[in-house]
Amino acid sequence: MSLAVQIRQHGGPEELQIVDVSVGDPGPGEVRIRHHAIGLNFIDVYHRTGLYPLNMPATIGMEGAGVIEAVGEGVTHLKAGDRAAYASNPPGSYSEVRVMPAKCVCRLPDAISFETGAAMMLKGLTAQYLLKKARPVEGLEPGDFVLFHAAAGGVGLIACQWAKALGLQLIGTAGSDAKCQLALANGAAHAINYSREDFAVRVKEITNGRGVKVVYDSVGKDTWDKSLECLRPFGLMASFGNASGPVPPFAPGSLGAKGSLYVTRQTLFTHIATREATQAMADDLFAVVASGQVKIHIEQRYALRDVQQAHRDLEARKTTGSTILTLP
């Protein structure tokens, strides 16, 4: 038997319950992993609330790191005893032990701790595809301006550092002066406190009226309209989250009026749909972390049994950087 966090219906943090579950052997293409640390992400809130519905009962969580206990038939890139980390469907990382598909599980380099691995896979791979793959039609070159919302969050702090390493001028937004300072300390070229400044006006000032080539937006409803105002002609609006709620329907014709803009809604799981793609992206992430160009900031730790409080703090935007759930 193993401890796991399950929900029996969609709802608030109080729906997160610790239960005993039976964990069997891995089948073909699967592994059994014993977690040493678990990542906390906003997608976990979407699963809990039903914005992204799950079949019940459901164990949630998309990210973790630990040791492989057993591998199923056909799994060749992992073996029992390997240190490993992942960001992967289906949900289920809020657990001591789980059986899961092997294709998105990667061997964790010895130089990277389990806690760092659990804190960086979903957020780091997200930053990787945003900066390397979700690119405007005119491309990105050193010196180009990009706008990144929630720059002091887990994905944001990684993106600030990685963008600087790529020579980009990242303009970050956050909800407090302290969070803005954190973004600047991690490589953002500029930071805007959107709780007291109009970020669209400020972006135009920073870019001398030209706007940015791309906006990376995980906030959603609250930032959508003004984000479009920040884009230069042929710019890209890259939506990848809904922290403030889903973006309401909009008229495509408005994109033409604002400068022939592009819009894309990205998900990590499209990018890591194959074993080869997952490994290539993970290798890129491991390399930039091992080089020291990107540091993973674990700012909050909660015991797995305190998962309800972890969700409350995440939704209240009390967290910065990465957050992990720890196991005894």
- For the stretch 160-184, pLDDT in tens is 999 999 999 999 999 999 999 999 9
Residues comprising the chain, all counted = 328
Whose structure tokens read 């906003």?
42
Q: Which tokens in the block code for residue 90?
A: 């289906």
- For the stretch 202-248, pLDDT in tens is 999 999 999 999 999 998 888 899 999 999 999 999 999 887 788 88
pLDDT given at position 220: 83
Coil vs helix vs strand at 281: helix
CB 186 within 8 A of CB 160: yes
200 contact partners, CB below 8 Å, separation of at least 6 = 226, 227, 229, 230
Which amino acid, one-letter code, is at 203? V
pLDDT given at position 319: 86
Long-range contacts of 162-165 (CB under 8 A, 24+ apart): 162/127, 162/128, 162/131, 162/187, 162/288, 162/293, 162/294, 163/131, 163/187, 163/188, 164/188, 164/189, 165/288, 165/293, 165/294
List of domains in the chain: 2-123+273-326 (3.90.180.10), 135-265 (3.40.50.720)
- For the stretch 256-308, pLDDT in tens is 999 999 999 999 999 999 999 999 999 999 999 999 999 999 989 999 999 99
CA distance 86 to 66: 9
